[in-house]
Amino acid sequence: MRKIKPESITQVIKKSLLKINYELEDSFVITLKKARDKEKNELSKSIMDDIIENQDIAKKGMNPLCQDTGVVVIFAKIGQDAYIDGDLYDSINEGVRQAYKEGYLRKSVVNHPFERQNTKDNTPAIIHTSLVKGDKITFKIAAKGAGSENMSKVVMLKPSDGIEGVKKLVKDTVFNAGGKPCPPIIVGIGLGGNLEKSALLAKEALLRDLDDTNEDPTLNELENTLLKEINELGVGPMGVGGETTCVGVKINSYPMHIASLPVAINIQCHANRHDEVSI
């Protein structure tokens, strides 16, 4: 057994949240610049210019990229030979608390659907745990804004709807969302499992590297086709029309009931704030 101190969990979570709220990954900035260069009209180009200038100002001044610094989502993959000398959930939430306070990040969490009192420290994070081999803990971390989350959905399709049904649902969802989820977006899709499993698959799909390749050839092809067809919708940056609506489609799947085809669509805005760290 390898002992992991709760303080070290708090520290990695805090450090990661401060970093992702101030700066985008270099590779993602390159993706955004390529998207800007593809735009043909002044308006769409001008919006992409704002987005690119914004990440520059944010990074240099250590200011949040976006005022919606999100709800923190964590996937903790815990090695079964790791021993956490304390409470995992408390140590993660302490990292969130410290990052959002010391980093001047907005506290966007309210306590109750109707009371809606701000918890004042952006806790609790939404934490998903799973057991894996080994003695490490790997955290996938995201700061997820509401603009894009609010445009996400789960739909239970019929198995006979098949691949065409999935494509139509995804394209309709992106088109109807328009500029609201802050395009250029990334679309995470969860296919299969059941109601809650599909939503988790979609969220985790959003955390994949943009330039990775799906190991399932059918899903890989579907990712590429959907990316192309979504961009043909012409929604464009912030919904004002243009060449780039989406910079990545990622699909994760899981076996399901013979009678079901659950589809979860989770949308990520261009403030694509996520990280992966191991301890």
Minimum Å gap between C-beta 122 and another protein is 11
Number of residues binding to another protein, judged by CB under 8 A: 48
Nearer of residues 63 and 213 to another protein, judged by Cβ: 63
HSE of 14 in the Cβ direction (CA atoms, 13 Å)?
20
| Residue 271 in contact with another protein, rule: CB under 8 A | yes
Under the binding rule (CB under 8 A), the answer on residue 263 touching another protein is: no
Q: Does residue 147 belong to the site contacting another protein (CB under 8 A)?
A: yes
Annotate each residue in 26-55 with x if it binds another protein (CB under 8 A) or - if it does not, as one string. -----------------x--xx--xx-xxx
Binders of another protein among 195-254, rule CB under 8 A? Answer: 233-236, 238-242, 245
Q: Is 104 in the site for another protein (CB under 8 A)?
A: yes
From the CB of residue 116, how many other CB atoms can be counted at a distance below 10 Å?
8
Please identify which residue in 150, 213, 218, 225 interacts with another protein, judged by CB under 8 A: 150
**Cβ neighbours, 10 Å, residue 41:** 12
How far apart are the C-alpha atoms of 125 and 143, rounded to whole Å?
Answer: 10
Residue 20 touching another protein (CB under 8 A): no
In the list 179, 210, 254, 260, the residue contacting another protein (rule: CB under 8 A) is 179
End-to-end CA distance of the chain: 14
Residues 6 or more apart whose CB falls under 8 angstroms from that of 229 comprise 167, 171
Least CB distance from residue 17 to another protein, whole Å?
13
Question: Is residue 176 near another protein by the rule CB under 8 A?
Answer: yes
Q: Is 64 near another protein (CB under 8 A)?
A: yes
Smaller CB separation from another protein, 68 or 253 = 68
Q: By CB under 8 A, name the binding residues for another protein.
A: 43, 46-47, 50-51, 53-55, 57-58, 61, 63-69, 104-108, 116, 118, 147, 150, 174-180, 182, 233-236, 238-242, 245, 269-271
